[in-house]
Every structure is written in structure tokens, then in C-alpha cells.
Amino acid sequence: MNLILVEPEEIDAAGEVVLAGRRFRHLIEVLRASPGDRLRAGVVRGPRGRAEVIEATADHARLRLELDQPPSPRPNVELILAVPRPKALARAVETAAALGVGHIDLVNAWRVDKAYFQSGRLDPAELRASLRLGCEQGGSTWVPDVEVHRLLVPFIEEQLPGRLAEGPIGLVAHPGAPPLETAMRPGSGAPLIVAVGPEGGWIQREVDSFVAGGFTAISLGAGVLRTEAAVAALLAQIELLRRLR
């Protein structure tokens, strides 16, 4: 946990917050914090700063917040992710939040097992927990929203055109396509909507649908990656290209 992340409603009138459960255990067992220590903290979609530990008992800690920094900006990358295996879903969502995305769309695809949509990992509370873990790791107060779409083609045809019309560049990751740098200029800060397929990849018809809707097919290298690795590789390559001049 590189950022103690709290919800606005957890903060009392004195600007203090009580941590119990997972965050308390991490505070004591991993960070080894004690009264007087000051740690990085922030409010979900709100300001950042420091939190001073003012009390630590056997089951909770009380912290005083000093939030004098602006909120984390909304990342200008949005992720479309074909729903992977439940355990991989949690890791992929956490990774995306840690590396920074503004919004996540979880979609169906031909190679997505329909049973995945019955998984408890798609429960909003479960997704929220994974997103928070990622933001705590990445040090961001921007917790992205997540939407679930059970029908891919209507999503591509009805929702994406309007979003692309607002200016983002659409990229769909697919093995064998030209490398990312052929579609994204080094140093470009243009907003992006990026699509990562399921474990078996998008089928060609799905790639064609994305391309017909204004996306460009790109690849991340010669290797075929698992979903969570593909998410990490894509977002890391985008960040690297943006830093190059």
C-alpha cells in the first residue's frame, strides 16, 4: 500500500479517520506504523496529502488527515477488457488501476466462457475492492468506474462511435498486427481507448468490427500474453511512448 485511500464518508468532522480490517493490518504489519508516523494518504476522487497516526490499538488505528495536494488527474486512457477467468479478472483490474486508466469496460467476446459472467468477481463490491488495491499500489486517488457489457457488437456499434467522436484514438490489441508505435506517435498525449481480448484472443470478425468502428489494430510484440500481462504491457508501452520525444 503506497497510498492510504479512504472514502469521503469515512472522514469525521475533525478530519480524522479510523482504519480497521485489511488497511489496519497492512498499516501495522507491513508499514509497521506507530503513533506519530506520517504516511501518504488520499480520498477517493479527492485530494491527497499525509495522514498522521494518532492512535493504534489491537484492532484499529486513528489517523489525522492533512490533505494539501490536488486530486490525482483522471487518466486519459480507457480500457476495454474482454472478461477473463475470474482470478485473472481481479489481477487485470488491479493492474489497470495501478498503472492508471480513467474507465474500464468489461465486455463479452466469442472466446469468453459464458460462465465467467456468473462469477462473484463481477460483483460491483468485488470489482471496487480490486480497483482500490490497484490505486493504493499506484498511489492514485482516481478510482475508475467499471461497466459490464454482455453483448459485444452492440457495444462496438452503438457506444464506441460517440466516444471516439470526442477525440480519443481507438486501439485494439491483436497478435500479428503492426506494433503499437506505428499507430501512436512518440510524445503524444492524445486520449486513448484501448481494447484487450480474452485469453484466446479476439476472433478476426471481432477485430474487423473494432476496425470498422474506427479502431486501429496493434500488437505488443511477438509473444502471445495472458490477459493481465497484456494489460500491463499495453499500458506500460503507452506510458513509455508518451515519455519519448
List, in order of start, the domains of the chain with CATH numbers.
4-69 (2.40.240.20), 77-243 (3.40.1280.10)
Q: What whole-number distance in Å separates Cα of residue 161 and Cα of residue 144? A: 21
Kindly tell me if the per-residue pLDDT of 19 is higher than 90. yes
* Cα pseudo-dihedral 219, 224, 228, 234, rounded to 10: -20
pLDDT, position 1: 85
DSSP 26: I
Query: Within 13 Å and on the Cβ side, how many CA atoms surround 178?
Result: 7
Alpha-carbon span 102 to 143, nearest angstrom: 8
* Phi, psi (rounded to 5 degrees) for 91: -65, -40
CA distances from 189 to 112, 124, 167, 194, 245 (A): 32, 31, 12, 14, 11
Residue located via cell numbers 492533512:
66
Task: Please determine, for residue 72, whether its predicted confidence score (pLDDT) is greater than 90.
Answer: yes
Q: Who has greater pLDDT, 223 or 104?
A: 104
Residue 32 has pLDDT above 80, yes or no: yes
pLDDT tens digits, 104-139: 999 999 999 999 999 999 999 999 999 999 999 999
What mean pLDDT value characterizes the chain? Answer: 95
What does the pLDDT look like over 139-162, one tens digit per residue? 999 999 999 999 999 999 999 999
